[in-house]
Amino acid sequence: MAMSDLLHSLAIGGVALNNNIILAPMAGVTDLPFRLLCSEQGAGMCCMEMISAKAILYKNKNTESLLEIHPQEGIVSLQLFGSDPDILSEMAKQIEERPFDILDINMGCPVPKVVGNGEGSALMRQPKLVEEIITALVKAVHKPVTVKIRKGFDEAHVNAVEIAKIAEASGAAAVAVHGRTREQYYTGEADWDIIAKVKDNVSIPVIGSGDVTDGASAEKMLITTGCDGIMIGRAARGNPWIFRQIADYLKDGTVSPKPDREEVKAAILRHARLQLECKGEYTGIREMRKHVSWYTIGMPHSAKLRQRVNMAESFGELERLVLEEL
């Protein structure tokens, strides 16, 4: 397969993605400002932070901000989590008019609080319930329904192929597979063989996830697994440029230069302004602290800057620190 064939458009249900490089859903990371930056850098689709179906049901005020979508974002996937097929399908109906393109159901989150409620990756242990949830969601909405899963709950229960086949049979339009078990969280290496096995067993698009950090690893995953698309998670934190870099590499092997210091400064300040627009100064500046840490990791003399940014209370303070000390 020619390298240029690895980068291609991708159809999920009736939704056409310009390319097959996707921003993974990450709680506390993939909010509207960050999705907008990744979309501008060429992400084929951006996934929102996971949203609790019960929080929508009970009209949790924080959930409304999670549901916001910018008209310039490009293709957006909204991810729900929950375990009750009735609540999930009713809430999906309730929000379907919002401007997202694809509805995803989270069956991969490893966080104890979520798993303890029988949600996220705990659903991997209940294939019958998986079938009920996906069937109910597909019936409830007209938009394509997709599923994000893991390799299995633990090494003794590796069942991604079984769950993916159930997803397809229940009407899912695509499945994303993270090559680690719930027990692994994000430790160790992702098992790409399980992604290849899922690809061999279903005909819907399969999106591979886990340990793609640059163009070379993206190429390797696409070739070794045969997956239709790749999902970038932790490697995108502080690095929205990764989508452009991977696309350039998959086109013709070009290794794009990393952004220089001035480009990083400009990105941090633009990100901060977007945060303030969306969340106000108090919350926006506090949320920028972790992003600044990700943007500057590995940069010379950046540890002191991160300490000072963690004390910043206003955009003016943050701007001065970034311009003078980065």
Residues 156 and 286 grouped into a single domain: no
pLDDT reported for residue 211: 97
Helix (H, G, I), strand (E, B) or coil at 150: strand
pLDDT reported for residue 201: 98
- Catalytically active residues are 109
Q: Report residue 297: phi and psi, to 5°.
A: -60, 135
Residues 228 and 268 grouped into a single domain: no
Range of the domain at 298: 261-325
pLDDT reported for residue 169: 98
Domains contained in the chain, number: 2
Could you please report the per-residue DSSP string of 27-76? TTTSSHHHHHHHHHTT-SEEEPPPEEHHHHHTT-HHHHHHT---TTS-SE
Whether the pTM exceeds 0.75: the reply is yes
Residues 247 and 281 grouped into a single domain: no
pLDDT reported for residue 326: 86
pLDDT reported for residue 1: 55
pLDDT reported for residue 3: 60
* Residue for token pair 């990450």: 26
pLDDT reported for residue 4: 65
Residues 169 and 28 grouped into a single domain: yes
Helix (H, G, I), strand (E, B) or coil at 247: helix
Residues 232 and 268 grouped into a single domain: no
CA 55 remoteness from chain centre: 20
Name residues of the chain where pLDDT drops below 50.
none
pLDDT reported for residue 325: 87
Residues 170 and 313 grouped into a single domain: no
Residues 238 and 309 grouped into a single domain: no
